[in-house]
Amino acid sequence: MVSFLDEIRKIEKKWQKKWQNDEIFVANIDSSRPKWFLTVSYPYATSPLHVGHARTYGLGDIFARFKRQKGYNVLWPMGFHITGTPVLAVSWKIKNNDENEWKKMRGFISYYESTKEGIEKVVSSFSEPENVANYFAEKIIQDFLGMGYSLDTTREFTTGDPEYNKFIKWQYSILNNKGLITQGDYPILWCVNDKNAVGEDDIQDGDELNVEVNEFVGIKFKLDNDVFLVAATLRPETIFGATNVWIHPNATYNEISIDGEIWIVSKEATMKLLEQNHEIEIKRELKGDELLDVYAEVPITGRKIPVYPAIFVDTDHATGIVYSVPGHAPYDHAAIADLQKDEETIAKYNLNSENLKEIEPISLIDVKGYGEFPAVEICQKLGVKSQEDRDKLEEATQTIYKDEYYSGIMKSNTGDYVGLKVEEAKNKVADTLFEINLASPIYEPSTKAFCRCGGQIIVAIIQNQYFLNYGNPEWKEKASKALNQMLITPDKYRLSFENTFDWLDKRPCVRRRGLGTEFPFTEGEGWIIESLSDSVIYMAYYTIVRHIKENKLKPEQLKPELFDYVFLSKGNIKDLVKNSGITEQTINQMKQEFEYWYPNDLRHTAVHHISNHLSFAIFHHTAVFPEKYWLPAFSLNEMLSRDGEAMSKSKPNVIPIAQVPNKYSVDVTRLHLASIATPETVLEWKEDEVNFALQRLRKFWEYSLSVINVSNKEKIEFSFLSKVFIASVKTNLIKAMESIERFSAREYILEGYYSNIRAIDEYHKFAKHLPEMEKKTALQEVIEMMVVTMAPAIPHICEELNERMGNKDYISLKQIPDIDVSDKDLLYALQAKYMTDLIEDIDQIVKLVKTKPKKIHIYVNADWKNELYELAKTIFENEAVQIGKIMASAKESAKLNNYMSEIANEVKLMFKDPTIFRIETLSAKNQENAILGFKEFISTKYENAEILIHLSDRKDIYDPQNKSQKARPMKPALLLE
RNA sequence: GCGGAGAUUGCCGAGUGGUCAAAGGCGCUGGAAUGAGGAUCCAGUCCUUAGUGGUCCGGGAGUUCGAAUCUCCCUCUCCGCACCA
């Protein structure tokens, strides 16, 4: 027997093939229909995609399909990102026989190749970067089509295409013309061996080390001979507590002439400074001990302090010279304490021991939780014995740094900075020092790190680096205006954009490494446009790429004037034809297509792009295009995790898209991914829960098949239960349609699909006694509505059902009709809810009494109670609920003032739970009708108990326990006998 | 560091001023079916009760006729910030 899974898997493949063969998702200009242009960010082609990506693309597909079925001419194209370093990194590692990379790639390729030889062959081919990109681009598209995505694949391109590079150059010429590109110095991580910039990829253990650039303040301590000892610090505010300077006695130092001054720094530091944009000449080399016991002048305070030896000084860290603040720096405290009792060293370097003994810590910061000298305190607390207790000293330093930074206040001995928080003082002191030219920035990596080539990593300053100036006020303002007009969904991400916009400033936009478009203003110098610039206006390129390919246009034909004309309507077509050699017809086609499709109506992507590419996309659109082409809407979703860890390409917890069709099923996975959580939550993938989607899909399939061939020749008059059923389904579908209009795919599926499956279940439960033909006809009506409305989510199964219903058209292209819900339908839906509650109540009591009732008396409330509830609802719609007010109003009501004593009691009850003033109620008559409609079901459910309905308004009803009094609208009273 | 988001019943995850004891799933318990298991189906799953009552949404205080939802404080968790994309 063929299992359901096998069957739908076959169906999925069948329809994908048909869609492709008939090219039903290829989009062309059609001015008779409104257009809708969707983009989902193109994937990076260095690995196969996984179900986490399928969450993002799957949502996009639901939107695209929905719009298509709502009468829009939908364009959803796909391209590939291959620029930047990743492709090269993969290739480099494969070429250099990096074991891990080989292993990783073998794993990836095994999704697609079945033989060992096949896998090896593909991986070996990755030594050529273009093979990496081409292979994965092809596989990713294959995976996408295998998920049933309704892509227009005729517009594929990669960011490495030479034609595309022309487009990016055009973008940069516009940005440059508008003055949005600026130049300046910029510190970067740099390998001394390669003489090149490095990224995380290039650093040994780069992902763990997390190396950053730190800016130290190199403070200049003047010696008598106008030479400066330069001590670098992250805490310039402690300058007021300096007691001495530390030098490593055995290390080698250089005296250098730098930018017109003479400095002494460690030999290693000299080498680093050479890369940091200075004029440097090395005068001489000297040993540390040559500098001991001389005096240096502290900037700002002007005090003279001695130079002492310390072995904790690391000459490969910053300048290799340290100024000592024993009151607030644990290392300094430990070192000075060591030295003061170290007669041997004092003698060895012939230090003036009286002066040395006089050195006392200086207190300059008030810190909560500490006394005068925090460093001394913490060293005692942690039991630091000497400057060689490195671990403890590290810990002490971290703790003090944090505590002083957040809660420290500058003391009275700190000149202009008295009373400032350390957080502020730190920068102010640094600024002052820079101003009076007694300090200079020194850059150093946050951690010692080495390049994969073995070279040390330092910080270099790139001069005249190019930046995109997102800080440009006019640009920012324009972008903010664009943002304010946009739809962002879920809306909570709007704030993230606003914050990003706030801090966005200059961003370096050229790179030394990686694939990409050559930077047009420094041709031949080896500068590449940074790769995010490839991803900000490329949506426009989709509209024209087909014409470039079909007409085999050459890159050199794609002159800036062409793009100016097509995108901005600038220039003269005759000249353009002459200059480019492209026909007038082709140029006009490109222009028309752009103008037809643009703007990009919705861009859907994962949230982690907010702070970069999505924000940049807004910026660049405002810079390049006129307002009518700005981006109107973004929709976002979070990522996917498994076992609590983000599913990411480099981890073993991934489920590749390639395995979805056979491991699960496409429609099941689509349904699950879109409905299990709202887009803004990180979704945890659980196998067990996928199964739920499968069961529901099967149920839908079976229900559908059971009515597919039903043909009802005579018109069937639906009974109450059937009407209620159809009304509930319609109400659910209306909610579903409203949801998907807002791009809430989860609600759409929950309401339109899961709720309706449940409604069908319920109907079958309640309507057992109805004639078969009526049940089938009602179900058929419902299934027909569901097949067309749910096709965007589960297109394959819906196509199949549509076909089996005898239709020749594609459900993927079929219009979703407007669903009418009449007042009558709303009433039915309310009655259904009323009955669900009532049956639950009966159930509850039956369980409590533990005997089987022979008679079930249902007491429907007196009419005046509805009147009272309605009155309360009106009065308290917008104001505080008060008992006196309702009594007074009731008294004035002709209908109610006869019942004032009962009302007094009722109102008291009502006030126990003021929420009661909000509910929708049913009149006694409508309650009765509902109960009558369900009477047979209830009776059967309780083993043919007799159902008796009593209207409390009637005089001589059977009511031995006076239950009728307790009946409330929507809550009838019960008596079981 | 800078900036942001969040904490819901055994777990995941909806709900963001009013039928909210709080959807749905998972798990668990019982039943149906079965050679057994799995899968499936049905029912139950805070406490109490011939019902319409109590307690509850990280902890504490407050606003309101009414708070999971709003405000303040506290505790904890997560995310983004690169010559990565």
Q: What is the pLDDT of residues A661-682, one digit of tens each?
A: 998 999 999 999 999 888 888 8
Rg (CA), chain A: 38
Distance A169 CA to B81 C1' (A): 28
Please give the average per-residue pLDDT across A529-551, as a whole number: 95
A477: pLDDT strictly greater than 50? yes
Give the residue nearest to nucleotide B40 (CA to C1').
Answer: A695
The integer distance in angstroms from the CA atom of A290 to the C1' atom of B17 is 76
Other beta carbons less than 10 A from residue A484's beta carbon: 9
Instruction: Give, in Å, how far the C1' of B64 lies from the CA of A961.
Output: 38
What pLDDT was estimated at residue A891? Answer: 78
Task: Measure the CA angle with vertex A601, ends A600 and A602; round to 5°.
Answer: 95
Token representation of residue A556: 């050199």
Determine whether the distance from the CB of A844 to the nearest atom of strand B is below 7 Å. yes
Q: What is the pLDDT of residue A448?
A: 85
The whole-number Å distance from A786's CA to B69's C1' is 34
| CA–CA–CA angle A319, A325, A331 (5° rounding) | 75
Q: Is the pLDDT score of A503 beyond 50?
A: yes
CA of A555 to C1' of B60 (A): 68
Q: Closest protein residue to B78 using CA and C1' atoms?
A: A682
Q: Could you please report the per-residue DSSP string of A551-598? A: TT--GGG--HHHHHHHHH--S-HHHHHHHH---HHHHHHHHHHHHHH-
Contact A916, A970 (CB under 8 A): no
Is there contact between A537 and strand B, defined as CB under 7 Å from any strand atom?
no
> Tens of pLDDT along A872-885?
888 777 677 777 77
Note the pLDDT tens digit of each residue in A147-190: 999 999 999 999 999 999 999 999 999 999 999 999 988 888 88
Q: Would you state the pLDDT for residue A40?
A: 95
Q: Separation of CA A774 and C1' B20 in angstroms?
A: 37
Residue A844 CA and nucleotide B44 C1' are separated, in Å, by 12
Considering all nucleic acid strands, name the nucleotide whose C1' atom is nearest to the C-alpha of residue A495: B4
Instruction: Give the three-state DSSP class for A195.
Output: coil
d(CA A794, C1' B33) / Å: 31
d(CA A168, CA A166): 5
Nucleic acid strand B within 7 Å of A136 CB: no
Angle between helices A390-407 and A330-340 (to 10 degrees): 130
Does any strand B atom come closer than 7 Å to the Cβ of A194?
A: no
Q: Where are the alpha helices (DSSP H) in A468-537?
A: 473-485, 494-503
* A786 Cβ contacts chain B strand, under 7 Å: no
pLDDT of residue A645: 74
Q: Give distance CA A493 / C1' B15 (Å).
A: 19
Rounded mean pLDDT, A264-293: 93
Integer Cα distance of A131 and A123 in angstroms: 9
| CA dihedral over A365, A368, A371, A375, signed as positive or negative | negative
> Residue A764 above 70 pLDDT?
yes
**Helices A374-382 and A330-340, axial angle in degrees (round to 10):** 80
* Per-residue flag: A342 CB under 7 A of strand B: no
Residues 278-297, chain A: which have Cβ under 7 A from strand B?
Answer: none
A761 touches strand B (CB under 7 A): yes
pLDDT of residue A451: 84
The string of pLDDT tens digits covering residues A914-950 is 777 777 888 899 999 999 998 888 888 888 888 999 9
User: In whole angstroms, what is the distance from residue A472 CA to residue A486 CA?
Assistant: 21
Please name the residue whose C-alpha is nearest to the C1' of nucleotide B64: A880
Distance A762 CA to B41 C1' (A): 14
Q: Note the ipTM here.
A: 0.92
Query: Which 498-527 positions of A have CB less than 7 A from strand B?
Result: 499, 503, 508, 510-514
Q: Average pLDDT, stretch A840-849?
A: 82
Q: Which of A903, A875, A879 is nearest to A891 (CA)?
A: A903
- Which residue is closest to B27 in terms of CA–C1' distance? A688
Phi, psi of A634, deg, nearest 5:
-120, 145
Assess whether A300 (CB) lies less than 7 A from strand B: no
What's the mean pLDDT in A758-778?
Answer: 89
Per-residue tokens: A834: 């009323």
Chain mean position to CA A966: 53
- The three-class DSSP label of residue A104 is helix
**What's residue A219's pLDDT?**
94
Q: Which residues from the 613-672 window of protein chain A have CB within 7 angstroms of nucleic acid chain B?
A: 613, 646
Q: Provide, in whole angstroms, the distance separating residue A917's CA from nucleotide B55's C1'.
A: 24
A329, A556, A682 from A161: Cα distances, Å: 56, 13, 35
- Average the pLDDT over A743-757 and give the result: 92
Neighbours of A873 (CB within 10 A): 15
pLDDT: which is higher, A367 or A753: A753
Closest amino acid to nucleotide B43 (CA–C1'):
A843
Give CA–CA dist A642/A682, Å, rounded: 10
Chain A 210-229, CB < 7 Å to strand B = none
Angle at the Cα of A65 (from A61 to A71), degrees rounded to 5?
Answer: 150
Other Cβ atoms closer than 10 A to A462: 18
- Dihedral (CA of A145, A148, A153, A158) sign: negative
Q: Which residue is nearest to nucleotide B23 (CA to C1')?
A: A750
**Residue A939 to residue A794: CA distance in whole angstroms:** 39
Query: Does the CB of A688 sit below 7 A from strand B?
Result: yes
- Is A825 within 7 A of strand B by CB distance? no
Report yes or no: A735 and A751 within 8 Å, Cβ to Cβ. Answer: yes
State mean pLDDT over A730-748.
92
Task: Please report the pLDDT score of residue A885 as a whole number.
Answer: 78
pLDDT of residue A853: 83
Would the pLDDT of A2 be above 70? no
Better-predicted residue by pLDDT, A612 or A554: A554
Here the tokens at position A375 are 């460093």
Give, as ranges, the nucleotides of chain B with any atom within 7 Å of a protein CB.
1-6, 12-15, 18-19, 23-27, 39-42, 44, 49-54, 64-66, 78-85
- d(CA A417, C1' B1) / Å: 21
Q: Is the CB of A530 within 7 Å of strand B?
A: yes
Residue with the larger pLDDT of the pair A506 and A403: A506
Q: What is the pLDDT of residue A146?
A: 96
Residue A746 (CA) to nucleotide B7 (C1'), in angstroms, measures 23
Contacting residues 954-973/A vs strand B (CB within 7 A):
963, 966, 968-973
3-state class (DSSP) for residue A426: helix
Which of residues 870-899 of A have CB within 7 Å of strand B? 876, 879-882
Between CA A619 and C1' B70 the distance (Å) reads 35
3-class secondary-structure state, position A38 = strand
Least confident of A102-111, A367-376, A557-566: A367-376
Tell me the C-alpha to C-alpha distance, in Å, between residue A554 and each of A62, A492, A557, A558, A958: 36, 45, 5, 7, 93
Q: Please tell me which of A78-82, A457-461, A705-709 the model is most confident about, judged by mean pLDDT.
A: A78-82
Work out the pLDDT band at A1, boundaries 50, 70, 90. very low
CA dihedral (A753, A759, A760, A761) positive or negative? positive
Q: List the A136 CA – B83 C1' distance (angstroms).
A: 24
Mean pLDDT score, A212-222: 89
Crossing angle, helix A615-624 and helix A494-503, to 10 degrees? 70
The reported pTM is 0.89
Residues 915-954 of A with CB under 7 A from strand B: 915-919
**What H or E segment, with its residue span, contains residue A264?**
strand A261-266
Of A759, A924, A750, A757, nearest in space to A825 by CA: A759
pLDDT band for position A208 (cuts 50, 70, 90)? low
Arithmetic mean of pLDDT, A892-905 = 80
* A914 nearest nucleotide via C1' and CA: B66
Distance CA A951, CA A538 (A): 69
Measure A752 CA to B53 C1' (Å): 36
Half-sphere exposure of A394 (CA within 13 A, CB side): 4
Cβ A221 vs Cβ A296: under 8 Å: yes
DSSP character string of A763-776:
HHHHTTTS-HHHHH
Interatomic separation, CA of residue A935 and C1' of nucleotide B22, rounded (Å) = 30
Given a cut of 70, is residue A73 above it in pLDDT? Answer: yes
Question: Which pLDDT score, from 0 to 100, does residue A310 have?
Answer: 92
> Measured CA to C1', what is the nucleotide nearest A909?
B52
Residues 407-426 of A with CB under 7 A from strand B: 423
CA distance linking residue A778 with residue A780, whole number of Å: 5
3-state secondary structure of A456: strand
Write down the pLDDT at residue A713: 67
Q: Is the CB of A977 under 7 A from strand B?
A: yes
